[in-house]
Amino acid sequence: MMAMRAFITTVLLTAAAAASAQDASLTGFGPASSAAERGIEQRVDASIGSADLDGWLRRLTSAPNQVGSAHNKENADFIAASLRQWGWDVTVEPVRVLVAYPTTQTLSLSGGDHYAADFSEPAVAGDPDTTRKDGVLPGMEAYSPDGRVDAPLVFVNEGLARDYDELAQLGESVKGKVVLVKSSGAGRWVKPRLAQEHGAVGVVIYSDPEADGFPKGEVYPGGAWRTDRTVQRGTLGIDSVLDAKGAKTLQAEHRTGDLAIPVVTIGYGDAEHFLRALAGKPVPLRWQGGLPLAYHVGGDAGVHLEVRSPWEWRTLYNVVATLRGSTWPDEWVIRGVHHDAWVYGAWDPLAGTTALLAEAKALGEQARAGQRPKRTVVFASWDGEELGILGSKAWAERHASELAKHAVFYLNNDTTGRGFLAAGGDPSLAALVDGVAADLKDPETGASVQARRLAKRAVDAAGKGKDASGDLIPERLGTGSDYLPFAHRFGVPSLHVRYGYDRNGDDESVPVYHSLYDTYTHYQRFGDPGLAYVSLLAKTNARLVLRTANADVLPWRYTAFAESLGKDIDRVQAGAEATHREAQRHNALVATDAYRLASVSYRQWKAPAAVDDAWEPVDLTTLRAAQQDLLAAARTYDEAAASAGDLPASRAAKVNAALRTFASAWLQPSGLPQRSWYRHLLQAPGRKEGEDVAPLPGIGDALGAKDWAQARQELALTTQATRKAAASLRAATAAL
Amino acid sequence: MMAMRAFITTVLLTAAAAASAQDASLTGFGPASSAAERGIEQRVDASIGSADLDGWLRRLTSAPNQVGSAHNKENADFIAASLRQWGWDVTVEPVRVLVAYPTTQTLSLSGGDHYAADFSEPAVAGDPDTTRKDGVLPGMEAYSPDGRVDAPLVFVNEGLARDYDELAQLGESVKGKVVLVKSSGAGRWVKPRLAQEHGAVGVVIYSDPEADGFPKGEVYPGGAWRTDRTVQRGTLGIDSVLDAKGAKTLQAEHRTGDLAIPVVTIGYGDAEHFLRALAGKPVPLRWQGGLPLAYHVGGDAGVHLEVRSPWEWRTLYNVVATLRGSTWPDEWVIRGVHHDAWVYGAWDPLAGTTALLAEAKALGEQARAGQRPKRTVVFASWDGEELGILGSKAWAERHASELAKHAVFYLNNDTTGRGFLAAGGDPSLAALVDGVAADLKDPETGASVQARRLAKRAVDAAGKGKDASGDLIPERLGTGSDYLPFAHRFGVPSLHVRYGYDRNGDDESVPVYHSLYDTYTHYQRFGDPGLAYVSLLAKTNARLVLRTANADVLPWRYTAFAESLGKDIDRVQAGAEATHREAQRHNALVATDAYRLASVSYRQWKAPAAVDDAWEPVDLTTLRAAQQDLLAAARTYDEAAASAGDLPASRAAKVNAALRTFASAWLQPSGLPQRSWYRHLLQAPGRKEGEDVAPLPGIGDALGAKDWAQARQELALTTQATRKAAASLRAATAAL
């Protein structure tokens, strides 16, 4: 047995050691340039520490901020004016976009008690913002197709593929019916589309309390959690709302692309009335939620559902500000956060925008004092994120060729709170994040941010009876915020950071998600009282930006990247084999009548049918060999870079040029075969339940579709990219 | 990859093959004796099929049946008279026992609304038994110490060790307070004792709906599940209530042995009032239950709790009936089920008693027709099981020397329903159970009982992404019913069987457990409509009894037994190592301040203290070697026995004598060092959360207490027993 205490102690003390080693060189810097950088960071910290965070947050959240609202435009103007005042070169780039906010919404029980849902959210004591109703959107799904149906209501749990399988086993169907589904388990835009595929004529999405209501804690205003009248807004929008030609068709038809059935969203207080009206079969146990009744499938009680929106053109305002780099102006470090919100948006996203203001002020002051960053820094305040990441996508498409030429790093914020630094993104950024976290002091413990990250990981692992071993590699990014076009389409090494606290896996920022109650008052009580973590987030962002912008050599490290690729290959192989084994096992159970025998007759379950278990093994050996070679090249580079010292600018430039070809090696310019908007060979949004990001998506998609030829093709492309990336690292090593 | 379909098909079709192979010899029988046995079984089935099951169940459940009630005594008399009439030699053995049923119970809120709990259960529509209140015990904990306290109420989840650890981390204590705990997670007698150890002055146990209330399905009478006014009765009684001297002390002091604080039990409707009155800190997420509110720890709201009982002597009536064996009268096959209940007791236990009557009638008829079993069959209808397994324990102690000389098998029933055969017990009995299950037809599918068992196992395993491989070995027995003295103290190979259906691990018989609503009507609606499974249970029991009683050679097989011992050695070793590793990991986290850093300050959690992580490895090599030798001997014996054919009685007798020394080899006559009532080296009731039965308890207890010398001593004893058992099998093989 290993010496456990010694091991854990070492892991935890690494952070403390790093934090105290103020003399050591920063990643990407030599001794001299490190000292200069630390000086800048100290001055930036002082500026952030004296910034008017509370005033900005109060101002930004003082009125509703949805796309098209006056105050969202005011915020864009305020942000633009502020950055201009601090010396940034600011442009406000408008984007025309089709918007459908329902203005008519009805959901009522056709039967005895004629109960009708209420899409508004009542005021709560002690939060003045909740009493004002001017310009507040009701609970709704933006881009719901117009429609009016009278049909039976049927409950289908989370409305995901597995739920429809189980519904079929109960002998029930959603054909011609309105489905009632929980908001949990997947992005809400998935649910109406699956419902429509199964023949449903309307969709009601509700937030079950099990996810973020009273079972998690006291509800607002007594505590932070979701009340029975808290509605989670959302969007069903897709890219075509950005595209004038496609959008005109949508406008004419009052529907959203592939989606033609009306959709509403309600709170759990309303949902309880509808669930109580449902009789019929008892649900599978897995479907039961947190309301105090036995849930039933229904299919008997009728509802009237009606949705109508004016389908209107609105303007998004992306605010994009630049501080031109002093040494390498053609290398861009981009940092973004959106400013639109569903209502006031204190948690989501304006605490992050408050941090951006503080950073911009500090960087502007430094530039005026002669400390202009070496690389160009681009600060972006995106609009239209809530409607479908519209602003950042439009901007990235418009500036695609510049991005390809100039972008070296994209840093994103969105919802943020207090507690622990969470960083997701490209594994090559791990060393940068670790270094920044080690240098920052956590406001509530006095320990370093890195020490808290490591402690949390060790304690969480211990709770599962495990040791926390290995490095803290950021998880690759999924689909939830403005990093989407940068990470997944343009292949810019991207990072998403926030502060937060997951209590047993439950993010305490969730409860007021997309509701009226995401206010300044809620944030100051439960988000980050005193805004100490907004200040810390600004310092964190500033360091991440500056340590990239000012580094002699881009501060990327690749050993963790190559190891992560190795794990992804294992996951894809294991996943494909498990899927195949499961299909065979299932079919064997079907063939032997085991499903019927294992059920009980009074439940009247229908045994499932056999599935396609065709299978061809795809040999990943060459990709594994390429990955091993990449790992060797990565180790060599990382060691050489760590001991490089202060480099002359010309040599550094050569190294940086080589490193930039590493990032672009992973792009498939024609896009992934089954989802051509996405271009990254190593990452795309997950398509399976519970999988935020799909590893090796080209190969994985093809295996999922049983297209073995395509899988081999994607495998060859990925192998080739891996070799190319290894060559980039060898060139970078040679240039050092 | 293996050929999955072929594999599963083979597993599933084995049962069908066995069922159709009516010509094959039965385990323990040669060809000639098999044919005779099958003839008897057919006639027994016919008799059971024509028995008056419904009339008996109706009669047995027609009035309350707790110990001391008139109707429980009437049932004993009726069972005795019936068996006598069917030709059995019947004795009714009385046992004097101290009983404390509370007659005064108060639990009320001292604060504003003065709510008082109601310990009665209201009538429900359509179930006439629930309207009669004569002689119905209220919701109560038998043997609660008398007491009267006014103290603050504090909620401690399930009231187990881990919950008290977490309470300490919240900075709260139960000292001088009344604790409110859920009934789930462990036997209820554990909870008051743990509460008292932590300084509590009273205990309230309630059934949270998450366990068996509305979240599981419609409540009674709409469905089978627990209503808000359903109370789970229980006992805090211990052995000393059987012992006149010790019991007189209890009677004088109105307390139960080590327990001195009053205890009540309530339903979740009452519990909700008390939980709503609790403020204070929010509970750890794990503690939240199914009621529609955020649970709090409390400690502020005061309650008045009072319990008083007359501590009176009552008589238990064990009915024990014998059919003397025709060939080997000194070998006893014992089959038991209790007849006392908390109220009417249709599920628990009188459906099982109904089966016993049918079996007794059929066996009696066969005996009268000249087909007396070869071994002596003892049928026992136990009393006082609900008060603490009192009747069977008293009888087994009284007849200990006879048991040692004569008992070859103990077969138990208790709560039973419909669906799948569940059999727990000694692994040497697996072949007997498999053979019986393969020969019986399931009433609702027409497949064999074995085919359904195998299908359920395969489908359950597939649900976890696994194959069901290997044999269906019954799990060793825990502590829940009358098998306790036979299996754990006297080392009789024991089996507990029932029919039931676990839906995702939830036993559908649970909801009315120990309540008024465990009635004939509930049973006929949700237990076993038409009693087809009571009939099947009777046939199952009759075969298990007769195939043991009539076998030439006892139908035990030992390969599975030896393999199971191998797994137990692995479990004990892995468990001990995991405990040690966990202690080291915990102490490392304490030493590095990781618990504090991983928490958030606004929760005000107190980091736990370091634990004792002393450790000495105990070398299990010699035990493993002995187990391997036992496995070799078992394989040799099992093969030889399978091909033995019809044996002359004298040779069979020699084999049987050797086999009986196998079972007794595992007894430690002085008892396990830390719980001397238990004597079996391989099994004892589990002491850890979620562990029903502890493997190798002598070794495990010593390791848990860090008594390394004792662990080595127990290891030596177990190794010696394993060698002795292997020698028994070699002697049996030689005698074949």
Identify the CATH number of the domain in which residue A585 sits: 1.20.930.40
Q: Which of B550, B580, B614 is the last residue of a domain?
A: B550
Strand A494-500 versus strand A420-425 pairing type = antiparallel
Nearest residue of chain B to residue A529 (CA atoms): B602
> B732: how many CB neighbours lie within 10 A of its CB?
27
A480 and B CB contact within 8 Å = no
Average pLDDT over residues B467-492: 90
ipTM of the complex, rounded to two decimals: 0.92
Neighbouring-strand partners of residue A313: A98
CATH number of the domain encompassing residue A222: 3.50.30.30
Contacts of B4 in chain A (CB under 8 A): 581, 584-585, 588
A293 and B CB contact within 8 Å = yes
CA dist., res. A472 & res. A646, Å (int): 27
CA dist., res. B450 & res. B456, Å (int): 10
Residue A200 has pLDDT above 80, yes or no: yes
Look over chain B and give the mean of its residue pLDDT values, rounded to a whole number: 93
- Both B428 and B492 in one domain: the answer is yes
- Both B342 and B374 in one domain: the answer is yes
Band (A12; pLDDT cuts 50, 70, 90): very low
Kindly report the nearest CA distance between residue B39 and chain A, in angstroms. Answer: 28
A582 and B CB contact within 8 Å = yes
pLDDT confidence of residue A474: 83
Nearest residue of chain A to residue B457 (CA atoms): A598
B1 and A CB contact within 8 Å = yes
Kindly report the nearest CA distance between residue A619 and chain B, in angstroms. Answer: 14
Contacts of B5 in chain A (CB under 8 A): 584, 587-588, 591
A594 and B CB contact within 8 Å = yes
Per-residue burial over A103-136, b if 16 or more Cβ lie within 10 Å, else e, is: eebbbbbeeeeebebbbebeebeebebbeeeeeb
Question: Model confidence over A63-91: pLDDT tens digits?
Answer: 999 999 999 999 999 999 999 999 999 99
- Both A280 and A394 in one domain: the answer is no
* Residue numbers of the domain that contains A251: 102-309
Taking the CA atoms of B672, B676, B680 and B684 in sequence, report the sign of the dihedral they define. Answer: negative
Q: Which of B309, B339, B367 is the last residue of a domain?
A: B309
Angle at A165 between CA A163 and CA A169, to 5 degrees: 110
- Both B533 and B590 in one domain: the answer is no
Contacts of B294 in chain A (CB under 8 A): 214-219, 223, 225
Angle at B473 between CA B469 and CA B479, to 5 degrees: 135
A291 and B CB contact within 8 Å = yes
For residues B291 and B209, the answer to whether their CB atoms sit within 8 Å is: yes
Chain-chain contact of B285 with A600 (C-beta, under 8 angstroms):
no
Kindly report the nearest CA distance between residue A462 and chain B, in angstroms. Answer: 7
Chain-chain contact of A294 with B585 (C-beta, under 8 angstroms):
no
Chain-chain contact of B282 with A601 (C-beta, under 8 angstroms):
no
pLDDT confidence of residue B639: 97
pLDDT confidence of residue A13: 46
A223 and B CB contact within 8 Å = yes
Chain-chain contact of A447 with B577 (C-beta, under 8 angstroms):
no
Chain-chain contact of A447 with B597 (C-beta, under 8 angstroms):
yes
Q: Which of B526, B550, B574 is the last residue of a domain?
A: B550
Chain-chain contact of B597 with A456 (C-beta, under 8 angstroms):
yes
pLDDT confidence of residue B307: 98
Question: Model confidence over B569-612: pLDDT tens digits?
Answer: 999 999 999 999 999 999 999 999 999 999 988 888 899 999 99
Contacts of B291 in chain A (CB under 8 A): 292
Is residue B483 classed as helix, strand or coil in its secondary structure? helix
pLDDT confidence of residue A246: 85
pLDDT confidence of residue A2: 34
Residue B46 has pLDDT above 50, yes or no: yes
Chain-chain contact of A451 with B588 (C-beta, under 8 angstroms):
no
| Alpha carbon of residue B281 to chain centroid | 37
Nearest to B589, CA basis, from B601, B578, B597, B577: B597
Average pLDDT over residues B56-80: 98
- Both B611 and B681 in one domain: the answer is yes
Chain-chain contact of B288 with A462 (C-beta, under 8 angstroms):
no
Q: Which of residues 412-441 of A touch B (CB under 8 A)?
A: 418-419
Question: Model confidence over A482-525: pLDDT tens digits?
Answer: 999 999 999 999 999 999 987 665 666 667 999 999 999 999 99
- Both A322 and A302 in one domain: the answer is no
Nearest residue of chain B to residue A213 (CA atoms): B294
Kindly report the nearest CA distance between residue B718 and chain A, in angstroms. Answer: 26
B593 and A CB contact within 8 Å = yes
- Provide the domain count of chain B: 3
CATH number of the domain encompassing residue B365: 3.40.630.10
- Both B391 and B510 in one domain: the answer is yes
Alpha-carbon separation of residue B113 from A490, B108, B178, B298, B482 (angstroms): 65, 9, 19, 16, 45
pLDDT confidence of residue A186: 87
- Both B261 and B351 in one domain: the answer is no
Question: Model confidence over B445-460: pLDDT tens digits?
Answer: 999 999 999 999 999 9
Average pLDDT over residues A576-602: 94
Nearest by CB to residue A601, choosing from B9, B12, B444, is B444
- Mean pLDDT is lowest, of A123-137, B392-406, B464-478, B663-677, for B464-478
Kindly report the nearest CA distance between residue A293 and chain B, in angstroms. Answer: 6
Residue A5 has pLDDT above 80, yes or no: no
In B101-146, where do the E strands start and end? 104-109, 141-142
- Both A188 and A298 in one domain: the answer is yes
Nearest to B719, CA basis, from B640, B648, B651, B665: B665
Q: How many contacts (CB atoms, under 8 Å) link A and B? A: 173
CA dist., res. B165 & res. B606, Å (int): 10
Chain-chain contact of B455 with A223 (C-beta, under 8 angstroms):
no
- Both A596 and A540 in one domain: the answer is no
A468: Cβ contacts below 8 Å, ≥ 6 apart: A8, A11, A454, A457, A458, A460, A461, A462
Which of A288, A597, A605 would you mutate first to test chain B, the one with the most B CBs within 10 A?
A597
Chain-chain contact of A285 with B216 (C-beta, under 8 angstroms):
yes
Q: Peptide bond preceding B349: is omega within 30 degrees of 0, i.e. cis?
A: yes
Per-residue burial over B64-100, b if 16 or more Cβ lie within 10 Å, else e, is: bbbbbbebbbebbebbbebbeebbbebebbebebbbb
Chain-chain contact of B592 with A12 (C-beta, under 8 angstroms):
yes
Chain-chain contact of A597 with B456 (C-beta, under 8 angstroms):
yes
Chain-chain contact of A5 with B501 (C-beta, under 8 angstroms):
no
A581 and B CB contact within 8 Å = yes
Band (A133; pLDDT cuts 50, 70, 90): confident
- Both B186 and B141 in one domain: the answer is yes
Look at B579 and B511; give whichever has higher pLDDT: B579
- Both B231 and B344 in one domain: the answer is no
Nearest by CB to residue B4, choosing from A447, A455, A588, is A588
A336 and B CB contact within 8 Å = no
Nearest to A299, CA basis, from A159, A163, A178: A178
Contacts of A593 in chain B (CB under 8 A): 447, 455
φ and ψ of A133, to 5 deg: -110, -5
B282 and A CB contact within 8 Å = yes
Kindly report the nearest CA distance between residue A643 and chain B, in angstroms. Answer: 31
